[in-house]
Structure 1
Amino acid sequence: MVTRRRFLQGMAAFTALGQVGSLTALASGVQEGLDASSASGGTAAEGVLRYVDVFVGTGGHGHTFPGATRPFGMVQLSPDTYNAQWDASSGYHQGDGSIMGFSHTHLSGTGAADMLDFLVMPSMGPVRLQPGDRDFDGVNYVSRFDAKRQGDGKPEKGYKTGVKGYRSHYTNESAHPGYYRVKLTQHDILAELTATLRTGMHRYTFGKEGDAHLLLDMTHGYQDDMDKPTRLSDVELTLVGNDTIVGGRRVYQWASGRVIYFAMKVSRPIAIATLYENDKPLPKGTATAKGDHLKAALHFDKASSEPLLVKVGISGVDIDGAMRNLEGEIPGWDFDGVRASAEAEWEHELSKIRVASSSDKVKRTFYSSLYHTMLAPTVFSDIDGRYRGMDRAVHTLPEGRHNYSTYSLWDTYRAEHPLFTLYQSERVPDLVDGLVRLAVESPSGAPVWPLQGVETVCMIGYHSAVVLAEAQAKGFTGIDYMKAWPVFRRRAMQDDYFGLPYYRKLGYIPSEKEGEAVSKTLEYAYDDWAVAHMAEALGHGDDASLLRKRSQNYRNVFDKDTQFMRPRAEDGTWLQPFDPIAIGHSNRWRDFTESNAWQATFLNQHDVYNYMGLFGGEEGFEKKLDGLFNADPTLPDNAPPDIAGMVGQYAFGNEPGHHMPYLYAYTGAHHKTQARVRMLLETMYLPEPDGLPGNEDCGQMSAWYVMSAMGLYAVDPVSTNYVFGSPLLDRAEVQVGGGRVLVIEAKDNGPGRPYIQSVSWNGKPWTKSWIPHKELAAGGTLSFVMGDVPNESFGKAGADRPPSFGEPAKA
């Protein structure tokens, strides 16, 4: 049982580790405390922690995981219910009814899959080496985890709320930030999980007497399908004494060739340890094994009433690093202390934004979203500062720095990184200078989607440029922009990278020469805009001028006759046939990235006023934008599942559309932005497993909600400006760094009142429909007055509209 006293001890330990400075923001949460629940052995979270539902996104196509981790943690210790097919991208889906085991690395909300390293499964009786299928057969090592099921074998209907502070569809499962618990019904084993930054800790309580063992399955990982095992090499296992096993492996999945190591200790002596190769036991006494298909069974004396504790450190460097991480972060066996420290850290980080709303649903959705924004990027360096770089070599960081991985940049540059510049400002230099380090070390240059020291080259563009340019424009120091410049200049000016030579030569990418050419042209134009800012700030005026001009290449794939972005051939002709809902000019070709011509037509984020001229002016552009939201939502049969959350042909469930509702602000019809944003906030998100409109994508889907619920959105992050939307919260207090507080309040707010009547900043009228970052970062009070009818004059004057392309509105 974890009491309020234990929580305070955990908070003290957390502070003593030097992981946070002042815990002022935590004070109110500490006052409320964490009360013990009597029946479950679990903590009922108070403070803001009680609003976080870690199961949000574990259903539908959210692709999140519910297990234990720390903010930006290297370890994500979570149950795996399945490891093949798209909806198993995180290893967990709430529609599955069985658990394969508990692995130590997971991706949050991605559409591509990997990880699931070092699966541990407690069991009793004979050793079973095969996981089996989700359809539990009772003869493999998977276990059901819901003892109370409907007769048809499906989860009970409805969203179960058991112990206060926990939520799950399953009566035997519950969790909150930093802690997960489940009853494995096959052998009546209670499994509990918690974590530090680089280690995971398990506690297994056996409800029956008999022979107990742990299975460590080194073959487990994400698979393309169940008939294609995880591709591995250099797998090794070594037993050390009677309480430790260490090892590592190289994995060839999405991040092909990544290496990862572990060190695992158990709290009771191992009575018998058997290593297996190709599912055959190795001779008795074998302490070391190498191969591509290894497993280990660790047997213990008769199941004891005392729980079996397991602690696992991981490292991307070597086994010694994994052991140092383990011994440095969990030197003892105090599971409840580690858990209390995890809860204290989450309470501290979540409390950086304190909100008020009359709706409990809004608060639960907000804090569940805020939680998800801190699951990536993830630390990928050891406690001694060593890390494996993008060049596959081992490097050592300067003291006090962390190396990071898991940058889903195509997604997160849009809202998550702008959000970090507000409420994680102290962490921004580490996160962004980490991108510089990755860029310099990587043979492929500018980071695109780096994962555990490997460039996956997933998605289009090279939007690490946007994150750097935004931080530079917002004045963040401690980032080596000068060191980054040659890498990003080379990408923009020289690299032969996915159609860039065509882009430089023709001003667009021909769609018969390169897949997804229209989307690539448009996203390279925005990257040009970002790199132009970097060049200007570093004194490279000629490069800045060239790139700024080139960032208007979007014009070259715009067809004035149809008023759509569309595929174009190398000879300049428009490719036929053309259908604005199609994803390609033939069924075998994609001209757009997870989108179609309707959606691509509004990808412009940085040059909106000049773009309007292609539609005949702001009236024509506004009419076309209306058309996007009001069109028939039908999609072609070959549309990818990522195109989701449809409102007309607007696909909110995929990231390229996230700025589009805010474009009305540039036409002077800001009231349409207000109405549309409020509708999306209220209808696209729920604090439920199937509560996300699409993939979570490492925090971007949630970051949109967090920013928009506060009434802000960075249409063009490089501009450093935020466009107003329609604040859903009644009040938010944001710790913006250096002891400064940003207060955002919405008076006369509520359902049916999405319209801004007026705005004031620090008590003075503010007529603009946008505000610069430097104002908010200084702290102050931004006050909205809301109403049930639009004030169409707000933001209508040209001087009050957001600037674009570095220029004010021409209207």
Structure 2
Amino acid sequence: MFRLRSLARAGVVLLLGAAMSAVGSTPRAAAAAGLPAAGRFPAHVGVEDPAAYVNPYVGTRADAPDRGHGGGAGNTFPGASVPFGMMQWSPDTVTYQHGGYTYDDPRLSGLSLTHISGAGCSDYGTTPFMPVLDATPTASSAFSHANERLAPGSYGVTLDNGIGIDLAVTQRSGIARFSYPAGHTASLTVDAGRAFNAASGELTVRDSTVSGFTDGGGFCGTSNRYRVYFHAAFDRPFSHVDAGGRSPDARTVVSFDAGPDRVVTARVGISFVSVEGARANLESEQRGVPLEEVRARGRARWNDLLGRIAVAGGTTGQRRVFYTALYHALLHPSVFSDTDGRYPGFDGRLRTSRHGHAQYADFSGWDVYRSQIQLIALIAPDEAADIAQSITDQGDSAGYFDRWTLANGGTGVMVGDPLPTMAATVHAFGATGFDAPRLLRLARQGRDDPRQRPGHEAYDTMGFVPAETDGQGASITLEYATTDFALAQLASRLGDFATRDVLLRRSANWRNVFNDTSRYVQPRDADGSWPPFGPERPGGFAEGNSAQYTWIVPHDQHGLFDAMGGRAAAVNRLDTFFTELNAGSRAPYAYLGNEPSLNTPWAYAYAGRPDRAQDVVRRALTTLFTDTPGGEPGNDDLGQMSSWAVWAALGMYPQVPGRAELVLASPRFPAVTIRRGDGPTIDISAPGASDTVRYVHALRTDGRPTGRPWVSEDFVRRGGTLAFTLSDTPEPSWGSDPADAPPSFPPPPARASAPAPDHQPADAGGHVGENGMPRPARSVQPGTRLRPARPPTARRTPPEQRMDLRFPRAAVGS
């Protein structure tokens, strides 16, 4: 009996029902969850209507602490959108919250055509439509959540004044049905001069159409500008028009003879090219079909993408958290080209996307390069390749890669060089259908452009960005090193090994801001000295502090741990770090409500304690994410925060930008099937998995037992099976062997004759150090040791971990 009980706790399937522990004790409960009553998991699992588990309210209420980085809400919106939609037609409340909708405000101010989900600053919200009574514009209309109807691809509400609203959308257009109470004139306002930020516009009213444009911009107080054109066609002529025109009066009130049914239907197309483009988008995508069909098509599109990750078992609430997060992760980037392929480039010229492909916009680069773009590449590789091509085209038309782009312009917001990292990562996941050589060429050129890389001169000569640069030099150094690593991987995949080696050496620049004495990454002055320091101080870092940023060396975790004093020292520091999970940027603990901490739980796997990763990931997922309106720990940031929740529930994470290995924790669900969209599938079984049954005792990969808490790039590309044996008690020995740790990628040894494809970094006197890295700058004060980055001591690495690093790893002293 003791033995049987122990095996059952460890999640081993015994006869009947062990797989049912997560969903109930009867065969009926197991069948309802997609699990076989016989206790064996099928090769694949499916989910019939995953859209039914999406709660678009999640992220619309500020229940998380406001840490000063965009508020305490997810800043999402609840309205109608299809995946990567250009039109995202959503209600806006009087109380503004980034995203446009505050759950606790029962006053609707309009239905704007464009949105961004989860940003920490405002933009879009262009051209709100608002049904009113008796041709009388109002600042707002009261409503109740009880009278709202939310679903992926559609939105509906009945206002307290009796007006009914139903919206459904296609990629670039929408359809609205407005129902008016008897005894009132049916009217509608269209405001082309309004958006979330300062805006202007123009509109033209004809017998049954309203067309025009809205000029908006000003994201995070920057100077970005764009123009959104629209064309609205109504199913009945106007009975009265309160004329509009140019800003500041680019608003019209139109009235209708609503007839006995009291219903008016509007079809609206948008475009970033022209009014004619908006009209063509509308006609091409709707072709006169009724609202019900548009709504059904939108839901079917969502079910296609959401269903590419099918989970079985778990509670209804757990499935809601999962599919809502997956939904939010697939709202952006947004399709930007018209149905004919035209779109405005960053240079203002009209361009045309490749035939059969779309151009994308709205890249929250600093956020989404960490795990959201990987999720898209995993389940939607065709779309991911188009996104990478769009990034390439942005760099081509702008002359550099911006960090945070909106429509056809850069904002310069945040730090680092993330857009090339995104494209390189897409390529690593096998989505290679874009001009990768051009991307690499443009990214290399941009390394010398201060618009793309502020402080690049110091980074390429001294090996770090000084603290004086933007006050965020330490974090900028880490971000540049990460991008250099990702581009080195892309260069390797393209056969450009000279570029690979040079960039890999740059990727070791993190060592130049790592202080051997404190064993933290710290800001550093241009003279090489270390300013006063405390691990909890945010100075020198973007939205974080030294305690949080020190872990951001994803490509060389082993080198980082060596510098910290070894694996045991790293584990001790991680244990202290996760004393709090969402402490903000002024405490020396984790800040999982913001991006810089998101990779850190998985660092345990590199240090030989994947059981700790399993615990922290599950605790974070179950305590920071819920299926309620306040169910996010911070800004969703165009899907990045939600993508983390998806990966956490799958029990895997893309730790290294530019690579496609996945570091493992444990799945939240007993069975998962991931369909990659281009053929391969990944099947995961974890009998008994639950919020408490989280610890791995054994794993079989493709039927073979393994102690490795990670899977290879090859596995991710071709698919396979993962069979977990789980328990509610830790098993510290599993995955603890150093030979089983996920791979790290230190730089190559120096090659004296290796050519520098773009430039060779040098110090102020033009000299290069003996290992290919810069010597200390001559301005360094005497006695100050400026550590050149260099390869760490060679490690014994199994051949399967070497991947495509085709150079020998030299033993170099520390």
Q: Same fold judged by TM-score > 0.5?
A: yes
Q: 2:237 aligns with which of 238, 246, 269?
A: 269
Q: 1:236 aligns with which of 202, 206, 212?
A: 202
| Residue aligned with 2:602, SS | helix
Q: 2:445 aligns with which of 466, 478, 490?
A: 490
Cα deviation per residue 1:453-484 (whole Å; 9 max; x = unaligned)? Answer: 11122211111222222233344332101222
Pair 1:105-2:114 in alignment: yes
Pair 1:567-2:523 in alignment: yes
Q: 1:479 aligns with which of 434, 442, 452?
A: 434
1:333 Cα deviation from its structure 2 partner:
5.5
Q: 1:71 aligns with which of 83, 88, 102?
A: 83
Ranges in structure 2 where 5+ consecutive residues have no aligned partner: 1-30, 35-46, 63-72, 748-793, 798-814
Map 1:77-156; keep pairs closer than 5 Å. Answer: 77-82=89-94, 84=96, 88-128=97-137, 140-146=138-144
What is the CA–CA distance in structure 1 between the aligned matches of 2:149 and 2:431, rounded to whole Å? 40
Contact 2:94 2:140 in 1 (8 A): no
| Residue aligned with 2:682, SS | strand
1:560 Cα deviation from its structure 2 partner:
2.2
Instruction: Please report the TM-score for the alignment, with normalisation by the length of structure 2.
Output: 0.82
Partner of 2:767: none
1:250 Cα deviation from its structure 2 partner:
2.1
Map 1:387-406; keep pairs closer than 5 Å. Answer: 387-406=343-362
Amino acid at match of 1:208: A
Q: 1:248 to 1:145 in 2, by over 3 A?
A: same
Amino acid at match of 1:246: S
Contact 2:381 2:430 in 1 (8 A): no
Amino acid at match of 1:655: E
Pair 1:53-2:55 in alignment: yes
1:46 Cα deviation from its structure 2 partner:
7.2
Amino acid at match of 1:782: L
What is the CA–CA distance in structure 1 between the aligned matches of 2:95 and 2:235, rounded to whole Å? 29
Contact 2:341 2:354 in 1 (8 A): yes
1:730 Cα deviation from its structure 2 partner:
1.0
| Residue aligned with 1:609, SS | helix
Ranges in structure 1 where 5+ consecutive residues have no aligned partner: 1-27, 32-44, 129-139, 147-169, 224-229, 277-288, 585-590, 640-645
Contact 2:123 2:217 in 1 (8 A): no
What is the CA–CA distance in structure 2 between the aligned matches of 1:296 and 1:649, rounded to whole Å? 53
Q: 1:83 to 1:377 in 2, by over 3 A?
A: farther
Cα deviation per residue 1:705-747 (whole Å; 9 max; x = unaligned)? Answer: 1112111101103232100012111111111134432211112
Amino acid at match of 1:431: I
Q: 1:513 to 1:714 in 2, by over 3 A?
A: closer
1:312 Cα deviation from its structure 2 partner:
0.7
Map 1:641-680; keep pairs closer than 5 Å. Answer: 649-680=589-620
Map 1:541-580; keep pairs closer than 5 Å. Answer: 541-576=497-532, 578-580=533-535
Q: 2:217 aligns with which of 247, 252, 259?
A: 252
Q: 1:809 to 1:70 in 2, by over 3 A?
A: farther
What is the CA–CA distance in structure 2 between the aligned matches of 1:177 and 1:382, rounded to whole Å? 22
Contact 1:63 1:696 in 2 (8 A): yes
Partner of 1:458: 413
| Residue aligned with 2:363, SS | coil
1:292 Cα deviation from its structure 2 partner:
4.2
Map 1:440-451; keep pairs closer than 5 Å. Answer: 440-443=396-399, 445-451=400-406
Contact 1:83 1:89 in 2 (8 A): no
Pair 1:595-2:550 in alignment: no
Contact 1:188 1:208 in 2 (8 A): no
Higher relative contact order at CA 8 Å, sep ≥6: structure 1 or structure 2?
2
Amino acid at match of 2:175: M
Contact 2:57 2:77 in 1 (8 A): yes
Pair 1:802-2:742 in alignment: yes
Cα deviation per residue 1:147-198 (whole Å; 9 max; x = unaligned)? Answer: xxxxxxxxxxxxxxxxxxxxxxx2121201111111111x310111110110
What is the CA–CA distance in structure 2 between the aligned matches of 1:810 and 1:82, rounded to whole Å? 61
Number of aligned positions between the proteins: 694
Pair 1:619-2:617 in alignment: no
1:786 Cα deviation from its structure 2 partner:
0.3
What is the CA–CA distance in structure 2 between the aligned matches of 1:236 and 1:308, rounded to whole Å? 23
Q: 1:434 to 1:631 in 2, by over 3 A?
A: closer
Amino acid at match of 1:388: P
Pair 1:696-2:636 in alignment: yes
Pair 1:358-2:314 in alignment: yes
Contact 2:482 2:657 in 1 (8 A): no
Cα deviation per residue 1:18-37 (whole Å; 9 max; x = unaligned)? Answer: xxxxxxxxxx99x9xxxxxx
Pair 1:370-2:332 in alignment: no
What is the CA–CA distance in structure 2 between the aligned matches of 1:330 and 1:498, rounded to whole Å? 45
| Residue aligned with 2:561, SS | helix
What is the CA–CA distance in structure 2 between the aligned matches of 1:467 and 1:611, rounded to whole Å? 23
1:548 Cα deviation from its structure 2 partner:
1.0
1:408 Cα deviation from its structure 2 partner:
1.3
Cα deviation per residue 1:275-306 (whole Å; 9 max; x = unaligned)? Answer: 24xxxxxxxxxxxx334441111111267424
1:231 Cα deviation from its structure 2 partner:
3.8
Contact 2:373 2:426 in 1 (8 A): no
Contact 1:210 1:303 in 2 (8 A): no
C-alpha RMSD of the superposition: 2.2
| Residue aligned with 2:627, SS | coil
Map 1:471-550; keep pairs closer than 5 Å. Answer: 471-493=426-448, 495=450, 497-550=453-506
| Residue aligned with 2:563, SS | helix
Contact 1:83 1:221 in 2 (8 A): no
1:220 Cα deviation from its structure 2 partner:
1.8
| Residue aligned with 2:447, SS | helix
1:257 Cα deviation from its structure 2 partner:
1.6
Q: 1:632 to 1:332 in 2, by over 3 A?
A: closer
Amino acid at match of 2:169: A
Contact 2:622 2:691 in 1 (8 A): no
Contact 1:762 1:781 in 2 (8 A): yes
Contact 2:192 2:212 in 1 (8 A): no
Map 1:777-788; keep pairs closer than 5 Å. Answer: 777-788=717-728
1:207 Cα deviation from its structure 2 partner:
2.0
Q: 1:621 to 1:752 in 2, by over 3 A?
A: same
Contact 1:449 1:458 in 2 (8 A): yes
What is the CA–CA distance in structure 1 between the aligned matches of 2:210 and 2:345, rounded to whole Å? 26
Partner of 1:305: 261
What is the CA–CA distance in structure 1 between the aligned matches of 2:717 and 2:488, rounded to whole Å? 24
Map 1:319-338; keep pairs closer than 5 Å. Answer: 319-332=275-288, 334-338=290-294
Partner of 1:749: 689
What is the CA–CA distance in structure 1 between the aligned matches of 2:173 and 2:680, rounded to whole Å? 33
| Residue aligned with 1:751, SS | coil
1:539 Cα deviation from its structure 2 partner:
4.0
What is the CA–CA distance in structure 2 between the aligned matches of 1:558 and 1:92, rounded to whole Å? 43
Partner of 1:732: 672
Instruction: Please report the TM-score for the alignment, with normalisation by the length of structure 1.
Output: 0.82
Q: 1:736 to 1:302 in 2, by over 3 A?
A: closer
Q: 2:652 aligns with which of 712, 716, 719?
A: 712
1:202 Cα deviation from its structure 2 partner:
0.9
1:487 Cα deviation from its structure 2 partner:
1.3
Cα deviation per residue 1:516-560 (whole Å; 9 max; x = unaligned)? Answer: 111111111111111222333344433322221121111121222
> Deviation above 6 Å: which 4+ runs of structure 1?
631-634
